[in-house]
Chain A
Amino acid sequence: MQMDEIIRCQDVSFSYPGSGEKALDGVNLAIPRGCCAVLEGPNGCGKSTLFRILLGLDFPDRGSYCFDGVQITRKNMKDEAFAASFHKKIGFVFQNSEVQLFTDSVEHEIAFGLDQLGLPEEEVRAKTEQAILEFHLEKVRERAPFHISGGEQKRTAMAAVFAMEPLVIVLDEPLSGLDEEGQDFVRGLLKKKRDAGTTLVVATHSRELAEDLADLRIRMDRSHRIVDIG
């Protein structure tokens, strides 16, 4: 493995239990640290499954997945300390923000992850304030996340993940359900994070976003394989 690679998948195959079909078939992937990788492909080609493996939610049936030089397996993810330290380094913004938000207010949603990291209360408060300002959530900070608009939910979900400052941020369709203004905001934010050196892995159907952001474009097709990297 090269030293600057933060994600490496080697010959990864995966099938969902009870399904005869492969969701991923011999996927090989290497993402360098600080790179913005954009994953493209039709619906059902395995993008979301690949993300689940990158996040340690599912594990390859065959092949291996290494994150920051350490192999991620079912066995070591059962170790709570290991799992916590892994999830500290990789964050995920779901396509459907509604299911990602679970606390009683927007500000507590942002503070949740920071609090789980064991940061002192003052630091949690400072980082939460910073995220609220950065994501323009001042007006809805005390409202329940399931009562705010789709765009605000998306910004809250992103703020909650970005505030934790993980090494890698995985985003599934970050522009879905957003109006033009919202899309511009997210696009600008992702560019800023990329320029700041955060590793981004983004799945999108938007060619414009891919062209804007990508250092590395990865294409999958219905054979559940990566067909092009460039």
Chain B
Amino acid sequence: MNGNFPIMRAIARIADIEEANSRQAQSRVAPALRLVVCIAAILLVSLSRNAAFVLLLIAVELVRMALLSPERIRRIVLRLPLPVLMTALLMLPAVFLGSPRSMLTVTMKVFCAVLLLAVLNEKLTWREVTGGLAALHLPPLVVLTLDTTVRFVVLLGRYSDRILEAVSLRRVGRKNWKNAATGGILGTTWLKSQQMAQANAEAMTCRCFAGVYKKRPNLAAAKDRKKELTANLAYALLLPALLVFFFYSQGLV
């Protein structure tokens, strides 16, 4: 694409990342449980009044990150600098106002929270996240909206990428083709999105959908479900472990 339209290219690339994620071996731990533990960890990091708890979590997450593939590690590392630098910048006045430790603590907490989310993001696909949210009894309409949104982002990203390719193959001798074509591509993509939304709604209606997005049936075999249960129980133990260490590190026990 010769470096043109970086936003469109980025959107189209979501498809590849999602595909790569969905091809990884599926974890036996329930996405809902992963979400709960991650949210609890972020909350405890926010509430923590000293560095011990935060540092421990950073260490654990770095170990988990190290077990991932190089490509995934690269993606996580690329996500970290911006929020951390922004926080450091915003907290900079604290140093001059005589409270340098505040800057360090807050920046470290942000680093830990972003790291937790980035690792979670690599462990779960978007559809697992929405599945997890459904299992946590989020309103079905919200889950349906999230599911449909990501699907459309992927499909429309791919669609606009195809048009972009067609445009670049036909650009001959016109320097400002980019400006002329952008409106056309966006307009066509918008029209396509409307058509797709209508076809999608009709397909759902034809398969007896009456407005209630039910929880997805568990299609795992009974044997696999036993293994899943064991893995979930083991993972669930992380929650009390986190709480115990949090209270211990805060000197509350």
Contact = CB atoms under 8 A, between A and B. Distances in A.
B203 A100 contact: yes
Q: How large is the interface on A (under 10, 10 to 19, 20 to 34, 35 or more residues)?
A: 35 or more
Given A88-B208, A113-B208, A147 B216 contact: no
Contact of A96 (B18, B199, B206, B216): B199
Interface string B92-120: 00000000000000000000000000000
Interface string B194-222: 01100110111111111100101111000
B34 interface: no
Q: Is the interface of B mostly helix, strand, loop or mixed?
A: helix
A72 interface: no
Contacts of A108: 216-217, 219
B62 to A, nearest CB: 30
B49 interface: no
A150 B102 CA distance: 56
Interface in A99-114: 99-105, 107-108, 111-113
B183 to A, nearest CB: 24
Contacts of A96: 199
Q: Is the interface of A mostly helix, strand, loop or mixed?
A: helix
B127 A161 contact: no
A55 B155 CA distance: 26
A87 interface: yes
A104 B217 contact: no
B148 to A, nearest CB: 7
Interface in B207-253: 207-211, 214, 216-219
A99 B200 contact: yes
B210 A104 contact: no
Given A87-B207, A100-B203, A160-B207, A146 B154 contact: yes
A98 interface: yes
A155 to B, nearest CB: 16
A104 B199 contact: no
Given A116-B208, A116-B210, A143-B22, A99 B219 contact: no
B151 interface: yes
Nearest to A128: B219
Contact of B200 (A102, A111, A125, A147): A102
A87 B206 contact: yes
A115 interface: yes
A55 B154 CA distance: 29
B127 A99 contact: no
The CB with the most chain B CB atoms within 10 A, among A88, A98, A144, is that of A144
A94 interface: yes
B138 to A, nearest CB: 15
A102 B22 contact: no
Interface string B1-37: 0000000000000010011001100100000000000
A83 interface: yes
20 contacts: A87-B205, A87-B206, A91-B206, A94-B199, A100-B203, A102-B147, A102-B200, A104-B216, A115-B214, A115-B217, A116-B210, A121-B217, A124-B217, A124-B219, A125-B219, A128-B219, A142-B22, A143-B23, A144-B22, A146-B15
Interface of A: 55, 57, 80, 83-84, 87-88, 90-92, 94, 96, 98-105, 107-108, 111-113, 115-117, 121, 124-125, 128, 142-144, 146-147, 160-161, 164
For the complex of A and B, the 6 pairs showing the least CB-CB separation, nearest first, are: A104-B127, A99-B199, A113-B207, A116-B208, A100-B203, A92-B206
Interface of B: 15, 18-19, 22-23, 26, 127, 130-131, 147-148, 151, 154-155, 195-196, 199-200, 202-211, 214, 216-219
